[in-house]
């Protein structure tokens, strides 16, 4: 009887340890990375970094040089913008994916401002103002950025990548 109880305790400890390792290893978004994915990669390099094939969307009719891809499996709520066949932006719509500092879909605007004091440029959202805002910050060299879209004070989507790409308000435009 004690052996069975001990086995259950050990199994529970292993399960908890495995779960916390999995959470700790989930990739985080930075100005230029999402796990092994790096801004500037070719589609082939991105597939290799993610370990899966990419699914392509139809390129934007107004911009032949821009398209979106997603991973064929896994990476739910993450899409990748390719400009001239190079990874330019990583878009996030899943609350499970966080920035290095912990911001996620559902974070409050106040949390974002507190996590990045003095670094955020706030502007009116093109479609949801006055209830919505863009909270944009740039890397120290101004080559990369991260933008959080908010509505009613909550982050609804965010993306990171080149300074140019994070300022597009309609995907490829």
CA 10 to centroid of chain Cα atoms: 36
Q: Span 139-154, mean pLDDT?
A: 98
Helices of type H across the chain: 2-25, 43-50, 109-115
Query: Where do we find the tokens 């997603």?
Result: 70
Give the up-direction half-sphere exposure of residue 59: CA atoms within 13 A in the CB hemisphere. 10
What per-residue confidence (pLDDT) applies to 52?
95
Q: Span 141-163, mean pLDDT?
A: 98
Q: Rounded to whole angstroms, what are the CA distances from 122 to 108, 137, 143, 149, 154?
A: 14, 9, 19, 10, 14
**Mean of pLDDT over the chain:** 87
Structural domain boundaries in the chain: 27-167
DSSP character at residue 167: G
Contact 91/81 with Cβ under 8 angstroms?
yes
CA dihedral 99, 138, 62, 84 (to 10 degrees): -80
The CATH number corresponding to 27-167 among 2.60.460.10, 3.40.630.30, 2.40.50.140, 1.10.10.10 equals 2.60.460.10
User: 7-17 pLDDT, tens per residue?
Assistant: 444 444 444 44
What is the C-alpha to C-alpha distance for residues 150 and 152, in angstroms, rounded to an integer? 7
pTM reported for the whole predicted model: 0.83
What is the C-alpha to C-alpha distance for residues 133 and 109, in angstroms, rounded to an integer? 9
Contact 89/46 with Cβ under 8 angstroms?
no
Give the Cα-Cα-Cα angle 172, 121, 39 (nearest 5 degrees): 40
pLDDT at 43 over 60: yes
What number of H helices and E strands is found in the chain?
3, 10
What per-residue confidence (pLDDT) applies to 144?
98
């Amino acid at each position: 009887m004690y052996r069975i109880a001990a086995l259950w305790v050990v199994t529970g400890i292993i399960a908890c340890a495995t779960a916390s390792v999995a959470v700790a290893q989930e990739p985080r978004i930075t100005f230029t990375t999402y796990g092994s994915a790096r801004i500037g990669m070719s589609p082939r390099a991105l597939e290799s970094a993610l370990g899966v094939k990419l699914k392509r969307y139809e390129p934007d009719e107004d911009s032949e040089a821009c398209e979106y891809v997603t991973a064929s499996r896994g990476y739910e709520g993450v899409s990748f913008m390719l400009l001239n066949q190079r990874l330019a932006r990583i878009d996030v719509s899943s609350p499970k994916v966080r920035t290095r500092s912990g911001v996620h879909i559902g974070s409050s605007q106040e949390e974002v401002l507190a996590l990045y004091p003095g670094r955020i440029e706030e502007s009116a959202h093109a479609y949801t103002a006055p209830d919505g805002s863009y909270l944009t910050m740039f890397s120290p060299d101004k080559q990369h950025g991260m933008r959080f879209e908010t509505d009613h004070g909550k982050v609804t989507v965010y993306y990171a990548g080149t300074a140019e790409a994070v300022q597009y308000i309609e995907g490829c435009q």
